[in-house]
Amino acid sequence: NHQIATLLFLEPPHSHDPTAIADFISLPTAMLNQLPAAAQDLLWTVQEATSIVFASYQRLQELLERSEDNVLESEALDTRQRYPNAISFNYRNYLQAERDYLLIDAMPDWRHKAVRLTIALKDHSSLRFQWSGQHMTVGGWWKSIQRTVASWAEQAEEIVIPEPQAIQEELQLKFSRPSTKT
């Protein structure tokens, strides 16, 4: 179990659920049926790619919100106290691996598929429909999605991975305080 936890940073989990973002990215059926089959297929491909980016973005946010000493919950407290270097190494690598996955793997794939969809929607960008209670065009809807996904990548780029020394100092502070757990 420890070996599995230690190796997790090497390959972030790629699990994702395209239906989790369906409300965000799916066109109404009536609008979807007005698009050519090729564009419909590309929409599904982009929905899946968006789901992958979103899942990675969520995992990165969860890592940032969790404290370093909880990253490896399966390790005993005495192990964490004796090996803070390993904890900081693993925490940094979890963050770095997820950030790299999002920016180096998932986003380029998403951009490639997004370009293909942009081309497929070119002749249909002025079609109007109602989405989430708003009247908009296919082009406006697509630009909105592109901005949102781009913001996820921008936020990931701005993340500063803490230096090992800073993580170790924070861990030492946490371990030196008396436990308030009962």
The whole-number mean pLDDT for each consecutive block of 10 residues of the chain, a chain of 182 residues, reads: 43 65 82 91 93 92 70 49 61 86 95 96 92 86 96 94 68 61 52
**Does some domain include residue 152?**
yes
**Does some domain include residue 4?**
no
**Does some domain include residue 81?**
yes
DSSP state of 177: S
Number of domains present in the structure of the chain: 1
What pLDDT, on the 0 to 100 scale, is given for residue 1?
A: 40
**Does some domain include residue 26?**
no
Any bridge partners for residue 134, and if so which? 131
Please tell me the chain's helix, strand, coil percentages from 3-state DSSP, rounded to the nearest 5.
75, 5, 20
**Does some domain include residue 86?**
yes
DSSP state of 73: T
**Does some domain include residue 39?**
yes
**Does some domain include residue 106?**
yes
Structural domain including 91 reads 35-176
**Does some domain include residue 154?**
yes
The token duo for 118 is: 């942009």
**How buried is 110 (Cβ within 10 angstroms: 0-12 exposed, 13-18 middle, 19+ buried)?**
buried
Q: Which residue has the tokens 């899942």?
A: 55
Q: Rounded to two decimals, what is the model's pTM?
A: 0.75
- The answer to whether the beta carbons of residues 5 and 74 sit under 8 Å apart is yes
